[in-house]
Amino acid sequence: MKESQPICHTCINENCFIKRHIHLESMKSYIDKKRSFTCKRGQQFIIEGAPMQGLYFINKGKAKTVKTGINGREQIVRFTKDGDTVGFRGFGTSKRYLIGAYALEETILCNFSNEDMLDILYNVPEFTFDLMLFYAEELNKSENNIRKIAQMNVRERVIDTLLYIHRKFGQKKGYIEIDLSRQELADFAGTTDEQVIRVISSLKKESLIRTLGKRIELLNIEKLKSEIKEHKYY
């Protein structure tokens, strides 16, 4: 990873925990302790099981977090973008990272050490309260994902994944603004790349989506939503 120096005060990521609390006097002493890096596409910046070295905040870019399952297969548990926090699972209760993380494109990361993060949690109650709400929301999402895999069929899980990444990353010139392989879509949807390819082919024939290489355009979002409406997850 190459060192970078994004400046917190000029950061435009209003959803970033650090940015949201930078106006507090009690936060100022921690900002200068931040370390920043630039990762290339495909570069791993958190290794599952490695000693925890604080939390990462995405200044610019996209990443995926993964959890190793049966036979060493990686399940994608979360996609992240500008302003998102990475590496929080197990923070404060585990000395090792419970997930791995990879950059999906060139990504600038800001890192605060374990010691500095714990100091912030002890000394900045506004930050701690916001983080508690964030944890509650992430727990709810995780529980919903478990129910999805248990109750949705493969087609529904793929549609749900496409709608999710559309919400998360938006679109540019019609196409969802992220390049994901069919394997990555499968690893998030909890299925195989063969099944994803079949579902995508079917959705194309039904004129519900259009593809250009890895890029996907949703042509009829309301129709796609209606297919998973009964699960009430959208």
* Percent of the chain residues past pLDDT 90, beyond the cut: 73
* Residue 99 shares a structural domain with residue 177: no
Give 169-197 pLDDT, tens digit per residue. Answer: 999 889 999 999 999 999 999 899 999 99
* Residue 163 shares a structural domain with residue 110: no
Give 91-133 pLDDT, tens digit per residue. Answer: 888 899 999 999 999 999 999 999 999 999 999 999 999 999 9
Boundary-marking domain end, from 104, 137, 170: 137
* Residue 198 shares a structural domain with residue 166: yes
Mean pLDDT of 207-224: 95
Instruction: State if pTM tops 0.85.
Output: yes
User: What whole-number distance in Å separates Cα of residue 152 and Cα of residue 129?
Assistant: 34
64 compared with 94, residue with greater pLDDT:
64
Continuous H helices in 103-153:
114-123, 125-151
* Residue 131 shares a structural domain with residue 164: no
Domain total for the chain? 2
* Residue 160 shares a structural domain with residue 114: no
Give the type of residue at 103: A
Where in the sequence is the domain holding 210, given as residue range(s)?
152-231
For residue 34, what are the CA distances in angstroms to 20, 37, 109, 175?
16, 10, 10, 35
97 compared with 71, residue with greater pLDDT:
97
In a domain, 142, yes or no: no
In a domain, 147, yes or no: no
Joined tokens for residue 1: 């990873």
Give 51's contacts (C-beta < 8 A, 6+ positions apart): 95, 96, 97
Q: CB of 178 within 8 A of CB of 62?
A: yes
* Residue 113 shares a structural domain with residue 184: no
Q: Is the pLDDT of residue 234 over 70?
A: no
* Residue 108 shares a structural domain with residue 205: no
Mean residue pLDDT of the chain comes to 91
* Residue 14 shares a structural domain with residue 110: yes
Mean pLDDT of 128-144: 88
